[in-house]
């Protein structure tokens, strides 16, 4: 989730709660979330947050490594 620009900057997820609900409805178990979106966690219901393994990332490279399971 989130957006990575051509210059490499990370943008937070718009409407985090709605986006996570779509992920839940689609059957997702793990969700990659940019660290910049952590400030919006207060707007997400606890039941929705606990439905996933949330994986934070800080850069495009970090997101790719975590998505592939490479440490």
**Overall fold of domain 3-68:** Ribosomal Protein S5; domain 2 (3.30.230)
Per-residue pLDDT band at 12 (split at 50, 70, 90):
confident
Domain ranges of the chain: 3-68
Q: What is the pTM of this model?
A: 0.78
Closest CA to 16 of 36, 68, 8, 58: 36
- Per residue in 22-40, pLDDT (tens digit) is 999 999 999 999 998 888 8
Res. 71: pLDDT tops 80? no
Residue 18 pLDDT exceeds 80: yes
């Amino acid at each position: 989730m989130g957006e990575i620009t051509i210059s490499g900057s990370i943008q937070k997820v718009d409407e985090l709660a709605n986006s996570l609900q779509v992920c839940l409805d689609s059957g997702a178990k793990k969700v990659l979330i940019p660290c910049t979106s952590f400030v919006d966690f207060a707007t997400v219901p606890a039941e929705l947050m606990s439905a996933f393994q949330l994986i934070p990332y800080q850069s495009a490279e970090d997101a790719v490594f975590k998505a592939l399971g490479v440490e």
